[in-house]
Amino acid sequence: MTDLAHPPARKSGAFGKIVLRWVLYILLGLFALYYLMPLFVMVTTSLKSLEEIRTGSLVALPREVTFDAWKTAWSGACTGIQCEGLRPYFWNSVLLAVPAVALSTFIGALNGYVVAQWRFPGANIIFSLMLFGCFIPFQVVLLPMARLLGLMGIAGTIPGLIFVHVIYGIGFTTLFFRNYYVSIPSELTKAAKVDGAGFFRIFWSIFLPLSLPIIVVTVIWQFTQIWNDFLFGVSFSQAGTQPVTVALNNIVNSTTGVKEYNVDMAAAIIAAAPTLLVYIVAGKYFIRGLTAGSVKG
Amino acid sequence: MTKWLETHLPKMVLAPSFIAVLVFVYGFIAWTAWVSLTRSRLLPRYEIEGFIQYKRLFAAPRWDTAMNNLFIFGALFIIIAMVLGLLLAILLDQKIRTEGVIRTIYLYPMALSMIVTGTAWKWILNPGLGIEATVQGWGFEGFSFDWLVDPDMAIYTIVIAAVWQSSGFVMALFLAGLRSVDEEIIKAAQVDGIPTWRIYSAIIIPSMGPIFMSAFIVLAHLAIKSFDLVIALTGGGPGYATDLPATYMYAMAFSRGDIGQAASSAMIMMLVVFAIVVPYLYSELRAKND
Amino acid sequence: MAPILEIQNLYKNYGPVEILKDINIAIEPGDFLVLVGPSGCGKSTLLNCIAGLEPISGGRLMIGGADMTDVSPKDRDIAMVFQSYALYPTMSVAKNITFGMKVRGVDQETQTRKLQEVASQLQIEQLLNRRPGQLSGGQRQRVAMGRALVRDPKLFLFDEPLSNLDAKLRVEMRSEIKKLHQTLGATMVYVTHDQIEAMTLATKIVVLKGGVIQQIGSPSEIYNRPANLFVADFMGSPAMNLIPAKARADGAGARIEIARSSGTPLVLIDEHAPALPEDVILGLRPEDIAEAGFRAGADVQDASCLIDMVEPAGADTYVVSELGGKPVTARLHSETVATPGEMLNLSIDMSKVSYFAPDSGQRLN
């Protein structure tokens, strides 16, 4: 009985497995389309002429590829009254992100080193307080920060924005480095102390050379945060010092003239390009940064 | 002297950051809390007047809409992103050959600015030229999808865009969680002849409690802070239909010149965040110290 | 000769918790001091205090006659080998060994010469350009030793250096450390939880428990005359048999009665026993219980015992019998034929007996 019943049963099992496999791949493909669709629409729209956009379909490929929209987005689109395109604001973001990322990463590395390897009474409480700072909604500091920047005379300047990003970035950078350094045995520090090395010597000669992976993660995380920031940018900048996200929003929501969807899309892609590029080049580290602290270990 | 320096150097290195956090986080929270108890309008005033700003806030229909929107948006966003993220993670966990590529595709929206996401979806959901027009162009004349300009439905467009942006991240979290389950337990279950779906529902998913918690915290936090997406996608409109506490606060602070309202709404936002985050952080830190 | 390391009334607290209590130790140049005890007894903390890696809460610590209580590790003229080896992962073996000299500004020529000396002494010349990650456990151990040796310090400190090695390598490295100690004539302080390591290496052993010194002495003193029940139980494998018994004065000596499950107690006469309380605990090493007739002497007394279990262990055969309600192990020759459930005549060497007070646990003879 079982001998007779067995072979066909196994056959249908194998067949079922193949069908299941196909369903699985189709599902995964459909979801991939869902995630890719907006990017596809952005790119194709940016390459179409306004005429074609009005008459054609959202998902159709451009009949005639034109880069005019990109040129306008980069150097001619209007953000309110000025019409210089995204270019100056893109450079604002670069000038803002590079020092802010470098400073906050460096401070985070030193802090993490202290908290993880030079524990002193109260260090854990200090760390907890700093960690807590990562979670506040920034709305609660907007008003006093605006006043403080004014008092310091750096309101509406790029240094002012750098200052803000560094201050509210060190919580996370400290957390990243602390979690990384905590996994390094404290015996290493002890051995170096017996060898005669001091606080900074141990940091430079032993910990920093070990830190490349976490530096990459932290830099990517901070860069993405700062480049994509809108709240601080819109609150603490003025005409001329705005970062690219604020400029993009102004282009898209400017009410003057004809709505140029192709220019909007090109501008959006330009604003997204640096972080997208980082993601494609170093996606592995990007994911590690995202999940750091959320998944233990 | 050198001995003193040696023992105190670590503290001195940490001190500036600590002071910065004390002043710029806790000090500023205190400032905002103080101002929220005054009659401040265009300029801050420092005479405490009690809870008048909170009374005004709770009486304001616009704030009422914002809080309602937060609950609708938050609940839908968190639930859909978690379910979708878990589903995608399980699908991807089936030894898919092209996993790396697919994961990259699912996750890239997380690298985008909310402003970019908002801009893209604003174009896609635009009734005149977006999905509605496209589907109508395919011959479905009666098709209507104008949520973006419908005051009752606009908040859901924010859910759509936010889920698109963040569900890949939830997937990455869950995928890491699925992979961290002890393989020997799974092997033991397979040897016992337990079907795959039972292994997921009875063994793997229950052991991922902490990951669900993390995902929930991160998503809730994102929801409460949501600001840029609303600005880019709907601008808070039509009317005030898609206002969230964050946009309300910003409007009060920077366009209405009503510092008292801005401060009190910011304080409420912070209380909501703390109500969610504090128990979590507390249990985390306690678990670590044990 | 002046002691090279002297610890006087050392206390160490973490907040309200006392980790070390009133530690007094002094060792001479050339001594090999082993700090031994179960995990959590404070032995590693004590070593860290000697190194200056942990501040002490009270007392004084002298190295080479100079007060080092508040001196930082780098100025104590010590070198240390760690359990995890603590090799600097991004530096080559050579850089690992010379890092300390480099930090201290030793000239390049001396660095190279000393590196060569140590490398040949430890036979690691061919490893000098490798990174620690490319080495096996035993090789890492050697590099860690090299890093200590190159410093030529007054005092070498070892923190469980062999516990991460497999059993065979551990025995090899153990004898190598012993050889090193003999050829260098250096003074060493060595922490371990392994009592065999302690016995084989030490010239002097400190047994610690709960932050309190239980006994200080040579390996043979510790083994043969344990100061209390804890030391008796901790040192030696299989452990010393600790048998509850009743003692009664009997002429010059004592008459010892041990209860047996068969009903009739086993009676032993110890002619050299000191004055004993009625309840005592009798301590007997397994090797002091042998086959009847194998040992002779006035102090050897026979006892017929019911065998519960037989464990052949190659060179020896261990048999277990019940005395005073406790399983008692005897160490017999491997040829001895013993069968569980049958009687066997054993002889007990009363000259080796230790007596302990049941309540305080202290040694009575």
Judged against a pLDDT cut of 80, whether residue B284 lies above it is answered with: no
Question: pLDDT tens-digit profile of C267-310?
Answer: 888 888 888 888 999 999 999 998 887 776 777 888 888 899 99
Judged against a pLDDT cut of 70, whether residue A5 lies above it is answered with: no
Cβ burial, residue C164 (10 Å; 0-12/13-18/19+) = middle
User: What architecture is the A87-291 domain classified under in CATH?
Assistant: Orthogonal Bundle (1.10)
Residues C91 and C19 both lie in one domain: yes
Over residues B55-73, mean pLDDT:
90
Judged against a pLDDT cut of 60, whether residue B245 lies above it is answered with: yes
Residues C140 and C195 both lie in one domain: yes
CB contact under 8 A, A295 and B211: yes
Task: Give the chain B residue nearest C75 (alpha carbons).
Answer: B3
Beta strand pairing call for C188-192 and C326-333: unpaired
CB contact under 8 A, B25 and A291: no
Question: How far is the CA of B261 from the CAs of B28, B193, C219, in angstroms?
Answer: 16, 62, 79
Low-confidence ranges of chain C (pLDDT < 50): none
What are the structural domain ranges in chain A? 2-66, 87-291
Which range has the worst mean pLDDT, A145-154, B43-52, B63-72? B43-52
Residues C184 and C49 both lie in one domain: yes
How remote is the C-alpha of A110 from its chain's centroid? 22
Helix residue ranges per DSSP H, chain A: 2-46, 50-55, 68-75, 87-117, 123-133, 139-152, 158-167, 170-182, 186-194, 199-202, 208-210, 212-228, 231-236, 244-253, 261-281, 283-291
Chain B partners of A110 at a C-beta cutoff of 8 Å?
13
Chain B partners of C70 at a C-beta cutoff of 8 Å?
3
C231 Cβ contact partners less than 8 Å away, ≥ 6 residues apart: C207, C214, C215, C222
Closest CA to B124 of A29, A40, A230: A40
* In a domain? residue C365: no
Report the SS3 class of residue C205. Answer: strand
Chain A partners of C84 at a C-beta cutoff of 8 Å?
185, 187
How are strands ordered across the β-sheet holding C212-217?
C78-81, C155-159, C188-192, C32-36, C204-209, C212-217
Give the mutation candidate from C44, C48, C53, C160 for the A interface (greatest A CB count, under 10 A).
Answer: C53
Token code pair at residue B91: 């699908």
Closest CA to C83 of C124, C33, C47, C134: C47
pLDDT given at position A296: 36
Last residue of a domain, one of C234, C263, C284: C234
Question: pLDDT tens-digit profile of A43-88?
Answer: 988 888 877 877 777 777 878 878 888 888 888 777 777 778 888 8
Report the SS3 class of residue A78. Answer: coil
Minimum-distance CB partner of A143 among B6, B246, B259 = B259
Token code pair at residue A192: 């170096």
The predicted model scores a pTM of 0.85
pLDDT given at position C276: 86
pLDDT given at position B47: 78
Please indicate if any CB of chain B lies within 8 Å of the CB of C15. no
Minimum-distance CB partner of A248 among B20, B104, B119 = B119
Q: How far A226 CA lies from chain C's nearest CA (Å)?
A: 32
Closest CA to A167 of A130, A125, A218: A130
Minimum-distance CB partner of C74 among A196, A206, A210 = A196
pLDDT given at position B59: 87
Looking at residue B147, the DSSP 8-state letter turns out to be G
Distance CA B206, CA C300 (A): 66
Spatial contact of A35 and B88, defined as CB atoms under 8 Å apart: no
Cβ burial, residue C11 (10 Å; 0-12/13-18/19+) = middle
Question: pLDDT tens-digit profile of B138-197?
Answer: 777 777 777 887 788 888 999 999 999 999 889 988 888 888 887 888 888 888 888 888
Q: How far C71 CA lies from chain B's nearest CA (Å)?
A: 8
Strand spans (E) along C37-93:
58-63, 66-67, 78-81
Distance CA C65, CA C52 (A): 16
Report the SS3 class of residue B139. Answer: coil
CB contact under 8 A, C80 and A206: no
pLDDT category at A1 given cuts 50, 70, 90 is very low
Residue C87 backbone phi and psi in degrees, to 5: -75, 145
pLDDT category at B98 given cuts 50, 70, 90 is confident
Over residues A177-186, mean pLDDT:
89
Between chain A and chain B, how many beta carbons pairs sit less than 8 Å apart? 256
pLDDT given at position A291: 64
Judged against a pLDDT cut of 80, whether residue A131 lies above it is answered with: yes
Task: Give the chain A residue nearest B281 (alpha carbons).
Answer: A132
Chain C partners of B1 at a C-beta cutoff of 8 Å?
none
What is the CB neighbour count within 10 angstroms for residue A133? Answer: 23
Distance CA C319, CA C303 (A): 14
pLDDT given at position B33: 92
pLDDT given at position B117: 92
Place of tokens 């705005």: A242
Distance CA C80, CA C87 (A): 12
Chain A partners of B3 at a C-beta cutoff of 8 Å?
none
Distance CA B131, CA B145 (A): 7
Chain B partners of C52 at a C-beta cutoff of 8 Å?
none
Q: How far B163 CA lies from chain A's nearest CA (Å)?
A: 10
Residues C137 and C226 both lie in one domain: yes
Token code pair at residue B26: 């806790």
CB contact under 8 A, B115 and A276: no
Among left, alpha and beta (phi > 0; psi -120 to 50; other), residue C212 is: beta
CB contact under 8 A, A147 and B44: yes
Of B95 and A297, more confident: B95
Number of domains in chain C: 2
Question: How far is the CA of B151 from the CAs of B78, B240, C55, C118, C265, in angstroms?
Answer: 22, 8, 68, 81, 97
Closest CA to A53 of A249, A255, A252, A263: A263
Chain C partners of B3 at a C-beta cutoff of 8 Å?
70, 72
Give the mutation candidate from A124, A195, A205 for the C interface (greatest C CB count, under 10 A).
Answer: A195
Judged against a pLDDT cut of 80, whether residue A160 lies above it is answered with: yes
Q: How far B83 CA lies from chain A's nearest CA (Å)?
A: 14
Closest CA to B13 of C365, A110, C47: A110
Residues C39 and C80 both lie in one domain: yes
- Its domain, for residue C283, covers 241-356
H or E stretch at C188: strand C188-192
CATH 1.10.3720.10 fits B55-289, yes or no: yes
Minimum-distance CB partner of A137 among B214, B232, B270 = B270
Spatial contact of A180 and A216, defined as CB atoms under 8 Å apart: no
pLDDT category at A7 given cuts 50, 70, 90 is very low
Spatial contact of C118 and C61, defined as CB atoms under 8 Å apart: no
Closest CA to C191 of C144, C147, C152, C157: C157
Please indicate if any CB of chain A lies within 8 Å of the CB of C80. yes
Other chains touching B, judged by 3 or more CB pairs under 8 Å: A, C
CATH of the domain at C276: 2.40.50.140
Residues C229 and C290 both lie in one domain: no
